[in-house]
Structures are given as structure tokens and as C-alpha cells.
Amino acid sequence: MRLSWLVPFTLIASASLPAQQKEQKVLLGHAASATVSIRLMAAVGNIRVIGWERDSVEMSGAVPFGVKVELFGGTPTERSKGIKAFADVPADQSGREGKLLLKVPRRATVWLKTGSAEVDVSGVVGGLDLNIVGGSIAVHGSPRELRAESMDGNVVVDGAPDWMRVKTATGDITLNGGQDVGASTISGAIRTSGGEVERAKLETTTGGISFSNTLARGANVELETHSGPIDILFASHADVELDAATITGAIDNLWIKQRPVPGREGRGMTFAASSGTGSARVTARSFKGTIQLRSQVPIFSK
């Protein structure tokens, strides 16, 4: 491959825009290795990351005038193993305007930090570390590792990362797939479904937890809340051993024909049961949230 193709190209085409237009276009890029590590810190309203089948990184989009956009990838004639980029907003701007599209090699590792932004990632199979305050995070596909954190932004993952840790304060978390799953929130809701989970730890303070994944053989799942409701939907022939307890709440069993028993000193409830070979283990704990147990094919109804 001719190295001239790999020479970084930079264009901030503000000069070609009418003076009254408030945006400047961005086009930055650099040759990169297939497993390049990219750090982007950008205060813009919308960031889209796409994994592509090329050995380069390209950042394009439009940002308000005054926003300084830079991308650094080291020696221009070499494929970079590390790229650092930022979009820095002047103090008099909100940092919630503008759009950036970041195209990266599929196996890249992307670290992204922004304020309130809609972040959408697709096609990346390397690692993702995404951090927002508000807005939202949506990940499509199955990165090897995914870490996503937000304050009040919602997080949706539509894919099956090998390893995934998601945290919010008030934002909802929706995970459709995943093998090793961790999700934690204060008052947001957690919903997980799809895929075959091997290990999961889902915890909230007041938010609800809804778990309806298929359990892998020997899976270990922990669901914990202070006051949110827990809803567990088991597959029709799940091989599972369940241990559920609530300190002052109730257990609503629509799963198998067995009754929960009163908890310590007559308060709350506990429920221990198994189905099939019981190879997977599910533990559910709440302080006062109701724990509901259901089956995809109801075995009995109350």
C-alpha cells in the first residue's frame, strides 16, 4: 500500500461556508493499526462511532464555530497504534451542539468521554469505554469488552459483548445479550434479555430489575435491589437453582408449584427452589421490593 494514502488529512472547511452559517465542517484522519487505541474527548451533541474494514481512523462532522477539533496520531507516515482526539468548546457554548462521526478499524479500542450527547456505536468488536453525563448511549454489535457509564442518560446495548459493565445514576439500562454482565444504577431501571448469560450481577437502589436471559450451564446470576421490584422470567425448561429473599417485601411466585416461606422473625419472605438439573444459580435479594418469579411457559397459575 502506498504510504501517501496513509498520510493524515485534515480539513476544517469553515472558510467555504457563508459567514452567517454557525457551523464548521470537520474532516480529520490518520492511518491506524487494526487494533488502534483511540481516545476522544468531545463536547458535542451527537457522536456516532462506526467500525469499518479499513486501516485508518476518520473523524468527520460539523461543530459550532469556535469549537477546536484536533486529532493526533503520531508520525504521519506510520500506522498509528494510538490516536488522541478532542473537540474543545469555548466557555460561552453549551457543548450540546454539533455532530461527529468517528470511523475506526473494527478491532479498535475506543475510549470516549463527553457531556450530554447522544452516543451511538456500531460495528466495533474491540473494546469500548464510553462515558457520558446526559443524553444516551446505544451500542449495536458485540464488542469484546464494553464499559459504559452515565449519570441520567439511558444506556442500551443491543449485542452480546463478552464482558460488559454499565453504570448510571438515574438512567435506564437495557441490555439485549451479553455473557458476563454487570449493571448498576441508583434509580434507573435495568432490563436484560436475550443471549445466553454466564455471569450477571444487576443491582439498583430503587429502580426495577427485569431479567429474562437464557442461562448458560453453570451460570451465576445475582440480582439485588433495595426497594425496586425484581422480575425474573425463566425459560420454560431452565436448569436453575434459585435462592430468593426479601427483608420486608413479598415474593410472588408464578414459576413452580412451591410456596415462599416467611423470613426471619416472620418478616419478609424467602424462597429456595430448583428446576431441571439446577446447574445455574440465581440469587435475588431485596430489602422491600417485590420479587416476582415467572416462567415463559407458565407451569401453574395462582
Partner 1 sequence: MTDHLSFDQLCDLQDGALDLRDASAARDHMRSCAACAEQFAELSALGSAAAALPRVIDPPADLWGDIRAELAPRQPRRFAREYHWSRSNLVAAAAVIAVVSSALTAVAIRRVDPRPDTVVAAAAAAPEPATAVAVALPARLAMTEVGYTKSVEALQRTLAERRSSLAPSTVATVERSLRIADSAIAEARTALAQDPGNKALVKLFASNYERKIDLLRRATELSPRT
- Gap between the Cα atoms of 127 and 189, Å rounded: 25
Site string for partner 1, 31-70 (x = CB under 8 A): ------x-x-x-x------------------------x-x
Instruction: Name the minimum Å distance from CB 237 to partner 1.
Output: 29
How do beta strands 240-246 and 280-286 pair? Answer: parallel
Residue 281 makes contact with partner 1 by CB under 8 A: no
Residue 266 makes contact with partner 1 by CB under 8 A: no
Closest CA to 145 of 165, 174, 122: 165
Nearer to partner 1 among residue 160 and residue 245 (C-beta):
245
- Gap between the Cα atoms of 87 and 297, Å rounded: 51
Residue 152 makes contact with partner 1 by CB under 8 A: yes
How do beta strands 134-140 and 154-158 pair? Answer: parallel
Site string for partner 1, 92-121 (x = CB under 8 A): ---x-----------------xxxx-----
Residue 250 makes contact with partner 1 by CB under 8 A: no
- Residue range at the interface with partner 1 (CB under 8 A); choices 15-23, 47-55, 139-147, 201-209: 201-209
Find out whether 36 and 104 touch, Cβ atoms under 8 Å: yes
Which residue among 14, 60, 122, 170 contacts partner 1 (CB under 8 A)?
170
Closest CA to 155 of 142, 170, 143: 170
Strands of 15-67, DSSP E: 23-42, 46-52, 56-64
- Gap between the Cα atoms of 295 and 298, Å rounded: 5
Positions touching partner 1 (CB under 8 A) are: 37, 39, 41, 43, 68, 70, 72, 74-75, 80-84, 86, 88-91, 95, 113-116, 133-134, 149, 151-152, 167, 169-170, 184, 186-187, 203, 205-206, 224, 226-227, 245, 247-248, 264-265, 285-288
